[in-house]
Amino acid sequence: MVTKSASIEGAQNWTFLSNHAHVLVCVAKNPDVRLSEVAELVGIRERTVHRIVHELIAAGYIAVTKVGRNNVYSVDLDKPLRHPLEAEHNIHAIVAPLLKKAKRS
């Protein structure tokens, strides 16, 4: 039998967005972010962030340019979402609302 506290605890172990989406949002929010910072913000290992960033670059979702010793990233918000259920929408549909500053009441 599952207790109420166990079901609440289990519900906290997942999110609606994948690690790829989390990394994409971090980069879109802060184009000169260090990947070690992304790892800390997303809650995954830096090596995993490097893999995800390389996959996003290879797929054309992120471009990287070198500025001095630092990388600066840009996100192509016009790229379509990858899953067939959402393919008629682009990245902008997901990322743009997350980039807006929350209004304080």
Whether the CB-CB separation of 75 and 27 falls below 8 Å is answered with yes
Find out whether 75 and 60 touch, Cβ atoms under 8 Å: no
pLDDT tens by residue, 57-70: 999 999 999 999 99
Fold of 16-97: Arc Repressor Mutant, subunit A (1.10.10)
User: 58 exposed, middle or buried (CB, 10 Å; 0-12, 13-18, 19+)?
Assistant: exposed
Q: Which of 93, 82, 42 is nearest to 58 (CA)?
A: 82
Write out pLDDT tens, residues 23-62: 999 999 999 999 999 999 999 999 999 999 999 999 999 9
- Res 9: pLDDT: 55
Quote the pTM value: 0.81
Q: Can you give the residue ranges of every domain in the chain?
A: 16-97
101 has a pLDDT exceeding 90 = no
